[in-house]
Chains A and B, each alone.
Chain A
């Protein structure tokens, strides 16, 4: 569903038009389920987070600041529901990863830096490869430290803005940018390792 359609559903619900209810529930159940599954790591927890989130959403729907921000608002509630679930499970301390660890393997050749990266040029056309890479991407996001995972899911999967993400996670905009960059670099590194294992590496000078 397009973002505009989602905003329209929220607007209709606020106006008291219940015919938008089931479509809204169906749409956000899938979205919040996916998010919580990657955040909590368990299907059972995710199912519970979905119901708890939607219950809070409808109880407080009148407090939605503007229909335009419905996605960020729903994910703010989902994030809190996930935090409560996580406290009940294993506590994972935040881990910062340095940028140096995420740079591609490199060396110098004469006066120039050289890096080794796989050949990514086949990706746009190859549907099977795209789907495989997306599967790896999902696993990579699920396994990355939570501070990066939470930002990647909101910024790159749910496409919230930097400001909306900062608001949902209750951190400043610079922290969102730093974490997003590291999360993306981690994801790129994993995809590159996969491609390198499955195709000859290209050396770029």
Chain B
């Protein structure tokens, strides 16, 4: 019986982990999660995994960049910008 309850609370925890890590949970639910993590090693390890996954995503900087902008493409954008400004001034 005890193991079943343990498993259920882990499942609830699992469903809310992203909101927990993003600090988007209400304070009360957050406290429940904190308490669970302290007492549950698998959930603590899993939470740490997910935290690192998010960290790697945020750090990721693509190596591949677009080629330099062609002169006429840049000119087209600049003209659109100037036209927009003229429209605002009118």
List residues of chain A with CB under 8 Å of any chain B CB.
Answer: 13, 16, 18, 21-22, 25-26, 29-30, 33-34, 37, 46-47, 50-51, 54-55, 58-62, 99, 103-104, 106, 108, 110-115, 117, 120, 123, 130, 133-134, 137-138, 141, 152, 156-157, 159, 162, 177, 180-181, 184-185, 187-188, 191-192, 202, 204-205
In the complex formed, the residue of B with least CB distance to A60 is B84
State whether B73 touches A16 (Cβ < 8 A). Answer: no
Residues of A within 8 A of B14 (CB): 99, 103
User: Among residues 53 to 89 in chain B, which have CB atoms less than 8 Å away from a CB atom of chain A?
Assistant: 53-54, 56-60, 62, 64-67, 69, 73-74, 76-78, 80-85, 87-89
Q: Which of B7, B18, B56, B77 has a CB less than 8 Å from the CB of A113?
A: B7
Q: Which of A25, A134, A177 has a CB less than 8 Å from the CB of B56?
A: A134
In the complex formed, the residue of A with least CB distance to B76 is A55
In the complex formed, the residue of A with least CB distance to B88 is A62
Residues of B within 8 A of A138 (CB): 60, 62
Majority secondary structure of chain A interface residues (helix, strand, loop or mixed): helix
Please give the distance in Å from A72's CB to the nearest CB on chain B: 17
Q: Which of A47, A61, A184, A202 has a CB less than 8 Å from the CB of B18?
A: A184
Tier of interface size on chain B: 35 or more
Residues of A within 8 A of B38 (CB): none
State whether A191 touches B53 (Cβ < 8 A). Answer: yes
Q: Which of B10, B50, B80, B85 has a CB less than 8 Å from the CB of A55?
A: B80
Residues of B within 8 A of A37 (CB): 62, 64
Residues of A within 8 A of B89 (CB): 16
State whether A120 touches B56 (Cβ < 8 A). Answer: no
Residues of A within 8 A of B54 (CB): 156, 184
Q: Which of A33, A58, A123, A162 has a CB less than 8 Å from the CB of B81?
A: A58
